[in-house]
């Protein structure tokens, strides 16, 4: 499978992956998160696990299970870690721990390397078998640069028990008594969401969702979450609409660990009103080809987040050579080189201004789109993320020793 990336991903990444896998062949690598469908983590793991297995790694992916109460709590915790004021009781924190404790009976935590994704399964570290030599890593995909102090204090007591903490952006990292690393997320250029599509495939999706292609299309793809600022996107569109006739598409998929999505979707629909040029699409999590087609038919793509972990929809759009505009938060400025691969903005008015700039200057849009694809190729492909995970694992095995030459 890794050979399929030849000529697409950087040659050096592919060579290093193969050499690392020769050293790690037969060893086990466990990933644990809270949902198998919906969200960037699940998308990455769906593509990464088969690749690792094909390379000779015993890779597994487990998902913790919880009820509505657990996911309501973890969504509040997610919001609080990103700075929103929420109320928590001692009983809520105890239930959070007990849910993880119940999950340990259904998940085989024995592996040479264990990567726990995000806060939901963080307490699993308490059930680590100390008799086995293994490395446990906690991977944080969200912005915890300015959390509610009490919430971070409760989560931190689990995080410090890990061998390593991994963050997507340097400013998300916290002062911890363990090793910390920055590893950015990635997209898979060969997945249904990112592979090349024929004109017919793109047109078929436009017909399926009843989207005429008679005027420029502005698109935002994201979960229906207030931190993605869908209302702000509609307001930017309304400003642009006064000068440039266009359409707006807001498309997203539900995630099983996000109980707020339906309420936000209804709020967006109400705010959009009866405007026939606003299309609000709730798609099944596996509609990857449809998302791909929407991105390819768009003229300008936004990710106008006001809080963001990384925002891989930016790299997805850039891979398709589309001009992008993103909020200046989280990992978006790492992907958008302002004025080179797109624009970062700080307001609704700024987003509207940049949309009009792209619509009125197609040559600039084409140039930035090409720059964007090259930037993604060198920095945000799945092969690079696999390279980073394997490198971290390999070097951790030889902590305090001379690392064997690859």
d(C-alpha 87, C-alpha 384), whole Å: 39
Instruction: Report, as an integer, the average pLDDT of 90-117.
Output: 96
| CB-CB contact of 217 with 297 (8 Å) | yes
Q: Under CATH, to which class is 2-186+381-397 assigned?
A: alpha beta
| CB-CB contact of 301 with 325 (8 Å) | yes
Name the residue ranges covered by the structural domains of the chain.
2-186+381-397, 199-378
212 C-beta neighbours (distance < 10 Å), count? 12
d(C-alpha 113, C-alpha 31), whole Å: 9
The confidence score (pLDDT) of residue 403 equals: 43
Instruction: Report, as an integer, the average pLDDT of 347-368.
Output: 98
Mean pLDDT of the chain: 94
Residue-wise pLDDT tens digits, 390-401: 999 999 887 644
Domain 199-378 in CATH: superfamily?
Glycogen Phosphorylase B; (3.40.50.2000)
Residue-wise pLDDT tens digits, 19-61: 999 999 999 999 999 999 877 899 999 999 999 999 999 999 9
Instruction: Report, as an integer, the average pLDDT of 336-352.
Output: 98
| CB-CB contact of 272 with 244 (8 Å) | no
The confidence score (pLDDT) of residue 405 equals: 47
């Amino acid at each position: 499978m890794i050979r399929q990336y030849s000529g697409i991903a950087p040659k050096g990444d592919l060579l290093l992956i193969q050499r690392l896998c020769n050293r790690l062949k037969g060893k086990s690598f466990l990933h644990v998160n809270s949902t198998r469908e919906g969200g960037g983590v699940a998308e990455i793991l769906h593509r990464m696990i088969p690749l690792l297995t094909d390379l000779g790694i015993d890779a597994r992916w487990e998902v913790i299970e919880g009820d509505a109460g657990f996911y309501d709590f973890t969504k509040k915790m997610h919001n609080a870690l990103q700075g929103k004021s929420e109320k928590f009781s001692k009983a809520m924190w105890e239930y959070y721990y007990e849910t993880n404790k119940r999950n340990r009976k259904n998940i085989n935590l024995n592996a040479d390397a264990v990567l726990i994704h995000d806060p939901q399964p963080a307490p699993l570290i308490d059930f680590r078998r100390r008799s086995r030599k293994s490395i446990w890593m906690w991977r944080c995909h969200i912005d915890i640069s300015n959390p509610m102090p009490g919430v971070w204090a409760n989560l931190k007591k689990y995080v410090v028990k890990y061998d390593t903490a991994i963050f997507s952006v340097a400013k998300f990292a916290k002062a911890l008594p363990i090793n910390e690393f920055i590893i950015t997320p990635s997209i898979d250029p060969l997945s249904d969401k990112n592979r090349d599509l024929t004109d017919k495939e793109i047109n078929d999706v436009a017909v399926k969702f009843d989207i005429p292609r008679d005027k420029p299309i502005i698109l935002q793809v994201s979960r229906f979450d207030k931190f993605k600022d869908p209302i702000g996107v509609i307001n930017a569109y309304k400003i642009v609409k006064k000068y440039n006739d266009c359409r707006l598409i807001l498309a997203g998929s539900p995630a099983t660990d996000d109980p707020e999505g339906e309420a936000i979707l209804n709020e967006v629909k109400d705010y959009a009103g009866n405007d026939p040029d606003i299309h609000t699409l709730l798609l099944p999590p596996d509609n990857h080809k449809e998302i791909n087609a929407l991105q390819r038919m768009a003229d300008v793509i936004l990710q106008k987040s006001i809080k963001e972990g990384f925002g891989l929809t930016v790299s997805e759009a850039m891979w398709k050579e589309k001009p992008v505009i993103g909020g200046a938060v989280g990992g978006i400025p790492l992907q958008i080189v302002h004025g080179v691969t797109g624009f970062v903005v700080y307001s609704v008015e700024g987003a509207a201004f940049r949309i009009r700039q792209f619509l009125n200057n197609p040559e600039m849009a084409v140039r930035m789109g090409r720059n964007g694809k090259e930037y993604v190729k060198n920095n945000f492909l799945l092969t690079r993320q696999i390279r980073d995970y394997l490198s971290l694992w390999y070097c951790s095995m030889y902590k305090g020793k001379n690392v064997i030459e690859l």
